[in-house]
A and B are shown apart, each in its own frame.
Chain A
Amino acid sequence: MEIGFYPGCSLKGTSSEYAQSTLALAKAFDINLKEITDWNCCGATAAHNLNHELAMALPARVLALAEKDGMTEIVVPCAACYNRLTVTQHELNQSEELRDKISEVLQMPLSGNLQILNVMQFIDKYITNRIEEKVVKPFEHKVVCYYGCLLVRPQDILKFDRLEDPQSMDTLMKKIGADSMDWGYKTECCGAGFSVSRTDIVAKLSGKIVKDASDRGAEAIIVACPMCQSNLDMRRPQINSYLQMNIKTPVMYITQAMGLAVGLSKEEVGLKKLFVAPTFA
């Protein structure tokens, strides 16, 4: 079985382990994720703040290319990419005028019928029904699932999970044996793009998240967004210095945790790439 795959920039760079683990997990379930030919930037933060048309055209080109490749469904692991692609398709489907205009700019037709799946939706649709038989090494750890902002917003368009208290990741983690705990920072801000320009703000915001997880005895924070992951993981020295603590709770992608549970090796899920190393795996 083959499904389209849109990595976006993060999965080719800072979070290559997210791509690696997603592809490996899919492969373990005989699913081939095929990269969209000649894909480009999703527009992320920069474009939609500056130029609406450009912010539509960039993701629209990705969608058009996927359609051109004959794909009906694509998996988009990065939360920001997922958000941009879904919002764009929604907006274009709302206005025929806009769609014609963008289609003209792109010089490509656009049907607007592509199914765009984030990692949770992908796992839920293709993997959960077979997960129990495949688990060889139950992920028996206390975890907290961190959703951040983009996975569930804007709710009206994404229609994914509960806005204020999402559950999808928790449900999946419980399926592989994890003790997914209730906590207070599921959807609080990690500091996002301030990662580079105002690391002090990220240290403060991400610090609260990491501290609550650590206070509750979480052995890992499970995420599904490269930006969240890098803020909570790569900025750990700044976080710890802000907190005046030495918190060593690792921040893992859900695909890594699930990969380990179905018997993939540490190397196959790219565990080494994490700055804060998990001690248990």
Chain B
Amino acid sequence: MSKIGVFVCHCGENISATVDCEKVAEEASKITGVEVSVDYKYMCSDPGQTMIKEAIKEKGLTGVVVAACSPRMHEPTFRKACSEAGLNPYMCEMTNLREHCSWVHEKGDQTTEKAIDLVRMLVEKTKLNKPLNSIKVPIHKKALVIGGGIAGIQSSLDIANAGHQVILVEKDPSIGGHMSQLSETFPTLDCSQCILTPRMVEVAQHPNITLYTYAELEKLEGFIGNFKATIRLKAKSVDPKLCTGCGVCYSKCPTKKIPSEFNEGLGLRTAIYTPFPQAVPNKPVIDKTNCTYYTKGKCKVCQKVCPTGAIDFDRPDEFITEDIGAVVTATGFNVLKPNFFPEYGYGKYKDVITGLQFERLASASGPTLGAIRRPSDGTEPKKIVFIACAGSRDPAKGLPYCSKICCMYTAKHAMLYQHKVHDGESYVFYMDIRAAGKNYEEFVRRAIEDDGVNYVRGRVARVYEKDGKLIVKGVDTLLGGKPVEIEADMVVLASAGVASHGAEELAQKMHISYDPYKFFAEAHPKLKPVETNTAGIFLCGACQAPKDIPETVGMASGAAAKVIGLFSNSELTREPVVAVVNRIASHEVSTCVGCFLCETACPYQAIVHEEIKNRAGEVIKTVAQVNPGLCQGCGTCVSFCRSKSIDIQGFSNEQMYAEVMAVLEA
């Protein structure tokens, strides 16, 4: 005979404001099998938990129902309390009176009635609960980091320095990401490459890090602690073992006019190339879409000049498979590109450029060696306009969010411009100046007060070209909405940060969720910022939302800490809420007929074939079995099974029916 304890929580006033908690407890006490039923203001508090523990000991309870908030938050709390009092933790259940009842209904008898029904259901279910034991699974202590920007670099180094193996995968020929493209960094104006390149080298030389550049994640299977990652190593057409990085090949390559991705199209590169001189690894790859040999079938100049015979045109893409325990996603972001700003003429006028292009102009490693020059004619712009929020905070364009970094980098751009062009005039059109960060506000003030950048609060309506000048038509809202017109030599758009190309596809490969703008979703916006909803997959940096370098690095270390924490256990404990085949009957009399419909239904490849043998060792039957390590307890197999041979532990058909009947009979 079951002895169930019901504990009704007021949740301060969250539940008791609309639900009569005392009445719920009173009604629950009348249910057959309920030994004790009480209500309390904060059941999760220490006195509340003690109340439960004492009831278990004194009354010899066989099951506990806590009627409180969402089990997402406090199920572990109450299960732990029960376990401390000697009850199997899986004999404790929670019913959600808060999100499912009090928060969504008005105060009244009906609301209380519903609360009573919810309790009744769980009591009937709990009567059928069986003690369960958590599942232990081993962990492969090797991490996969996807993306070799500053986020991926930081995360890899932190994990590797903790003594664990890391595989770092970067889709481009070099690591470094967007940070390697930047000129100086706010708010200190230290050179981006100077602080980044040592880290890049450290990654390449670290004994615990295996670096795969020009590679992409092809497939990810498995689960936390036990992933299997297939990585595509795109054919570089250059054997990295033979290549010495001497550079003869790219100096002789006849295809020289390909817009350089690293220079954001402001410079040119060859078909065989390293993205930039400080690239890691500093060995070239052949861009097959532009190489004359691949497109027209002849050339092979690079092969002829290569002193070590490293060029190999016929090498196909390779695939490698790695067993890993955790994944850190650090795939970064992109900036909005042409056709998004018809009113600003981006793509139509050469001297309307993006902020990232300005970084290349201002960078010592850029196409102009750091001199600010107009892309159209190479002259020095004497009047320059920066347009903040180009795309960001613009619901009409479908991007209602703030890109967060633009206020700061625009101030930096204007400042760098003033430092380099002393007789130049710069204007920044802005909506608000969002300079929240250590020394950020001071930095913007410096741009305005010391460097004389003209800040105009207002939007720009249009940019058009007339007589070689870019006419910027905007409004000054601080002057009572007065229209302003500036004849500029160059316009820089602080274009919105958007999700990285292929982010959606990657998220689907890894089964992690993403927001409407294709940024990856964290598990909890406040308390789980580096976790995803898929256990064992973490994220950091701008793949989650646009963010600056300090925040990215902090987040990357946070994600690394999570991975290191995970790897500090020898094995992993998982909830035993998994499917089982015929858990009561023995295998010989299993009702499973071996149709394996469950196998086709299972999204996690958790169904395995089990051969039942007689004493002579002959196979008499093949039945389904569930690998508890892979099973996520989704229950799809249960609904597919024709002979009702599969059940979910803790959520059996029997228990579900008992819940339904409890409502119907009430």
List A residues at the B interface (Cβ < 8 Å).
162-165, 182-184, 212, 215-216
Contacts and interface: CB of A to CB of B under 8 A. Distances in A.
Contacts of B345: 165
B603 interface: no
A182 B347 CA distance: 13
Given A163-B342, A164-B342, A215-B466, A182 B348 contact: yes
Contacts of A215: 466
Given A182-B464, A184-B464, A184-B466, A165 B471 contact: no
Contacts of A183: 464
B468 to A, nearest CB: 13
Contacts of A212: 466
Contacts of B466: 184, 212, 215-216
A163 B342 CA distance: 8
Q: Give the interface SS of chain A, mostly helix, strand, loop or mixed.
A: loop
Contacts of B113: none
B348 A162 contact: no
A162 B464 contact: no
Q: Which 9 A-B pairs have the closest CB atoms?
A: A165-B342, A184-B464, A164-B343, A164-B342, A162-B342, A184-B471, A165-B343, A184-B466, A184-B462
Interface string B431-474: 00000000000000000000000000000001011100001010
Contacts of B341: 164
A182 B343 contact: no
Contact of B465 (A163, A164, A165, A182): A182
A163 B339 CA distance: 11
A160 to B, nearest CB: 14
Interface in B173-201: none
Given A163-B342, A182-B464, 12 more contacts: A162-B342, A164-B341, A164-B342, A164-B343, A164-B462, A165-B345, A165-B348, A184-B464, A184-B465, A184-B466, A184-B473, A215-B466
A162 B348 CA distance: 14
Nearest to B343: A164
B481 to A, nearest CB: 16
B351 to A, nearest CB: 14
A216 B468 CA distance: 12
23 contacts: A162-B342, A163-B342, A164-B341, A164-B342, A164-B343, A164-B462, A165-B342, A165-B343, A165-B345, A165-B348, A182-B348, A182-B464, A182-B465, A183-B464, A184-B462, A184-B464, A184-B465, A184-B466, A184-B471, A184-B473, A212-B466, A215-B466, A216-B466
A182 B343 CA distance: 12
Contacts of B462: 164, 184
Nearest to A162: B342
Nearest to B348: A182
A198 B632 CA distance: 72
Nearest to B465: A182
Interface string B310-346: 0000000000000000000000000000000111010
Contacts of B465: 182, 184
B467 to A, nearest CB: 8
B122 to A, nearest CB: 43
Contacts of A163: 342
Contacts of A216: 466
Nearest to A163: B342
Interface string B475-490: 0000000000000000
A215 B464 CA distance: 14
A164 B343 CA distance: 5
Interface in B332-387: 341-343, 345, 348
A121 B465 CA distance: 28
Contacts of A164: 341-343, 462
A149 B621 CA distance: 76
B198 to A, nearest CB: 45
A165 B345 CA distance: 8
A183 B462 CA distance: 11
Interface string B283-316: 0000000000000000000000000000000000
A215 B471 CA distance: 14
A55 B342 CA distance: 32
Nearest to A184: B464
Nearest to B464: A184
A182 B352 CA distance: 15
A163 B341 CA distance: 10
Nearest to A215: B466
A183 B342 CA distance: 12
Interface string B24-53: 000000000000000000000000000000
Nearest to B345: A165
Contacts of A182: 348, 464-465
A119 B473 CA distance: 30
A165 B346 CA distance: 11
Contacts of A165: 342-343, 345, 348
A47 B471 CA distance: 38
Interface in B115-136: none
A156 to B, nearest CB: 9
Contacts of A162: 342
Nearest to B463: A184
B466 to A, nearest CB: 6
Nearest to A183: B464
Contacts of B343: 164-165
A76 to B, nearest CB: 25
In this complex, the member of A162, A164, A216 whose beta carbon has the largest number of chain B beta carbons within 10 angstroms is A164
A142 to B, nearest CB: 15
Nearest to A166: B342
B400 to A, nearest CB: 15
Nearest to A161: B342
A164 B466 CA distance: 18
A267 to B, nearest CB: 37
A216 B467 CA distance: 9
A81 B473 CA distance: 30
B635 to A, nearest CB: 40
Nearest to A155: B396
B189 to A, nearest CB: 35
A215 B343 CA distance: 20
A182 B471 CA distance: 13
Nearest to A167: B342
A215 B465 CA distance: 12
A165 B342 CA distance: 5
B116 to A, nearest CB: 40
A162 B397 CA distance: 12
A183 B348 CA distance: 11
